[in-house]
Amino acid sequence: MFEQVEAYAGDPILSLNEDFQKDPRSNKINLSIGIYFDDAGRLPVMNAVREAEVELTREIIGRPYLPMEGGADYRVAAQKLLFGADSEVVTSSRIASVQTLGGSGGLKVGADFLHTYYPDSKVYVSNPTWDNHRALFEGAGFTVDTYPYYDPATGGVDFDAMLTTLSGLAPNSIVLLHACCHNPTGVDLSQEQWAQLIPLFRERKLIPYLDIAYQGFGDGIDADAFALRALAEAGLVFFVSSSYSKSFSLYGERVGALSVVCASRDDADRVLGQLKAAVRRNYSSPPTHGARIVAKVLGTPALRDAWEAELASMRERIKNMREALHAGLTKALPGRDVEYFLTQRGMFSYTGLSPEQVDELREKHGVYLVRSGRMCVAGLNQGNVDAVAKAMAAVLA
């Protein structure tokens, strides 16, 4: 039995992270996995999270199952964080939201739901995208194709090509978009570009599916939600998968949500019912702890202020590291254009390094990047940024 079972090649990012852990060199630097580390290179426990946990240990009397859709307070808090507390889609109860196992779980529950009702639709993801996007939607039974996005020649978005491709898609095609802090490139659409996409989504009858895993890491909590709010205001029906892994530093707690913005409250009620059915046949109900923390922080004014301030300092630290790396490289390689480190947003930068250059960086200098050339800027700190700049300069020279 099982002779036919193929060996799993592993996930490229997670395997690289394992290789890093095994690397005996003391000067090794991990810029591979998408995790925010603080300036001391540690995974932060945010103060607001710690305080919420202390309060929760006092309050918790038992651990019953959550309903299939997750905690009620959490679901409302997630909607308000995404769309704004006073948003019409929130106040008119037009959003069907379920608590999910991280953003990944949200993507999959939404994909399963869509496959039930739109089995013939194709899914289009940006070229490039987070590898797991393809895997999650293929796992739900869809065929996944790409639309043009990153332009290596300019380091920006090839928006004309993107528009041309999206304009030619069949009705009910599912278009997966990164709401902010694009993984892996760090290159986002501008507000004007989002505004141009909205009529196209409407006229071509496309189904936008927004992934927001880094809200607060780009330009701010509200600014990073611009796209969702613009689509909601335009009256579109669309999907949003959100993750709190990064913004609350709660990776292993698996806290996320799927929100489907519907045309009416009646639609939202029926959609919610079918999302619950999708959850029931996958894992029945989500875990309690992480979502309780997030709901507590977002629902307690003092904790929320503390969380926002800490998230702002994480965002600022990343920007400072972008500037430091840019300065180091500009000094070591005058004339080379490394402006992209300053214009890209969020935890990642596409460095343009070839796979061979990434290999050299790892083998000779102990600096780990993903082979696509993606760097996790949130792994830089004052203690390692000079070494990274020197190593990159040596590889690029």
Least Å distance, CB 178 to ligand PLP, is 6
Q: Is 256 in the site for ligand TYF (CB under 6 A)?
A: no
Nearer to ligand TYF, 210 or 261 (CB): 210
Which option in ligand PLP, ligand TYF, none does residue 243 bind, with CB closer than 5 to 8 A by kind? ligand PLP
Question: Catalytic: which of 108, 246, 276, 296?
Answer: 246
Cα 50 from Cα 39, distance rounded (Å) = 19
Cα 380 from Cα 133, distance rounded (Å) = 26
Known catalytic membership, residue 122: no
Whether 256 and 104 have beta carbons less than 8 Å apart is answered as: yes
Least Å distance, CB 226 to ligand TYF, is 22
Site string for ligand PLP, 50-89 (x = CB under 6 A): ----------------------------------------
Q: Is 243 in the site for ligand TYF (CB under 6 A)?
A: no
Least Å distance, CB 132 to ligand TYF, is 6
Token pair 């203690």: residue = 383
Nearer to ligand PLP, 130 or 395 (CB): 130
Nearer to ligand TYF, 226 or 348 (CB): 348
Nearest to 125 by CA among 146, 96, 139, 148: 146
Question: Catalytic: which of 158, 211, 224, 307?
Answer: 211
Judging by DSSP bridges, how do beta strands 367-368 and 150-151 pair with one another? unpaired
Known catalytic membership, residue 331: no
Output phi, psi for 19, to 5 deg.
-60, -40
The HSE-up count of residue 34 (CA atoms within 13 Å, CB side) is 25
User: For 151-263, where are the alpha helices, taking DSSP H only?
Assistant: 159-167, 191-203, 226-233
Q: 175: which strand partners?
A: 124, 208
Whether 293 and 258 have beta carbons less than 8 Å apart is answered as: no
Residues that bind ligand PLP (CB under 6 A): 34, 102-104, 130, 178, 183, 211, 213, 243, 245, 256
Residues that bind ligand TYF (CB under 6 A): 13, 33-34, 104, 130, 183
Catalytic residues: 130, 211, 246
